[in-house]
Structure formats: structure tokens, C-alpha cells
Amino acid sequence: LQSTDGTIRRNAAVILGGIGPQAGDALPALEKALHNPDKGFQWTVKQAIRKIRQLPSPEAPSEMRASDNQTAAPTRSEVNEAAAVPDHIAQLMARLIDEKSEVRRHAAFALAKIGTPALPALTQALQSENVIMRKNAAFALGEMGKDAHTAIPALVRLKQDPDTSVRWIAEHALKKIEGRREH
């Protein structure tokens, strides 16, 4: 969590969140990490804390808000806020083509978290002329798993995409949706 490498910091927070309540001893370090100026990292840390504390809502708990640096960041990131309200699907869809990969990734995860209300927009985005949009929409659908089963025909068509990375992501999304194991 204190590494100078942002990817390592982010991965550490994700892993701790994935461990869940058994990672309770890491909460003080995670709360300290909330003061990092990287808003994307703050969002990841908040999600890890939420998972460790088994909070049902993506809303940050009040004790975490009190520890936030109020001048440096809002109580939750824009992406997390948008994920809490499905009416913000269009806002998140626009972020799938943001110039910053971190913003695109968080938007894709937020759309996946919204679930079925985001399905029509994500499925439509698979037909976008923008390669980045197609990749991130396919990724988000894969993260939704079996809930995205209605997008299977569109993802199958995407396996013929001229862009190799789009085809690869579509194939992996299909595996996740269909419950096939990755090799």
C-alpha cells in the first residue's frame, strides 16, 4: 500500500478487499492509504474497506468519511457515486473512452456493478466505431457474468472485430458469461 508503484498499490488494495473480513488487520493501513492524492487509488481503497467490513452499499462509511482529507477529495469518487445511482449510466458510458485508462477501468467496473440496468447501453456500445468503447463495453459485460447472457449474440459478433484486442476481450467476456473456465 505504500509502494511508489501505483499498480502495486492498487493491486494490494484489491487483494486485501478480495480477502474480505479476514483482512481486518489491514484496515489501519488501508485507512492511512486514503490520504494518497491519487483519487483512483482512494476509490480502490474505499472498495477494499467496504468489502472487509462487509458493507452492503458502495457508499463510504461515516468513519471513513471523517478520515478523508476533505480538501483533497470528495467523500467518494465520481465513478463510485455514479455507480450508486443507475440513472448515471450515460455518464459512466462516456467515461469508457476517457483518456485515462484508470478512469475507463473504474467506469467499466461500476457499470458491471450496476448490472442489468446497464445491459442495453453496454450491448449497444459493442457496435461503436470507437475501439476503446468496444473493448471496455465487452470487458464490463464479462465482469457482469451470467447476468449479461442477453449480450451473448452481440459478443459473438464481436469475435469478428478487425481489432485483435477487441476479439480477445470479447472471447474472455463470453467465457465469463457462459461460465467457462479460463486456461
Residue 66 lies in a domain: no
Q: What percent of the chain has pLDDT over 70?
A: 80
**pLDDT band at residue 131, thresholds of 50, 70 and 90?**
very high
Pair 151, 118 in one domain: yes
Which CATH number belongs to the domain containing residue 108 in this structure? Answer: 1.25.10.10
Question: Residue 96: CB partners within 8 Å, gap ≥ 6?
Answer: 104, 107, 108, 111, 125, 132, 133, 136, 137, 140
pLDDT of residue 62: 37
On average, the pLDDT of the chain sits at 79
Residue 92 lies in a domain: yes
**pLDDT band at residue 19, thresholds of 50, 70 and 90?**
confident
pLDDT in tens, 41-76: 888 888 888 888 887 544 433 333 333 333 333 334
Residue 55 lies in a domain: yes
Residue 170 lies in a domain: yes
Output the CA–CA distances (angstroms, integers) from residue 24 to 42, 46, 53, 55, 56, in the order listed. 18, 14, 8, 13, 17
Pairs from 144-150 (Cβ < 8 Å, separation ≥ 24): 144/112, 144/115, 144/118, 144/119, 144/177, 145/176, 145/177, 145/179, 146/177, 146/178, 146/179, 147/115, 147/116, 147/119, 148/119, 148/122, 148/173, 148/177, 149/177, 150/119, 150/123
Pair 109, 166 in one domain: yes
Say whether pLDDT at 85 is over 50: no
Pair 54, 89 in one domain: no
pLDDT of residue 142: 96
Residue 129 lies in a domain: yes
Pair 91, 171 in one domain: yes
Provide the residue range defining the domain that includes 43.
Answer: 6-61
Residue 74 lies in a domain: no
Residue 71 lies in a domain: no
> How far apart are the two ends of the chain, measured CA to CA in Å?
30
Counting the structural domains of the chain, the total is 2
Pair 88, 170 in one domain: yes
Grid look-up 449474440 returns 153
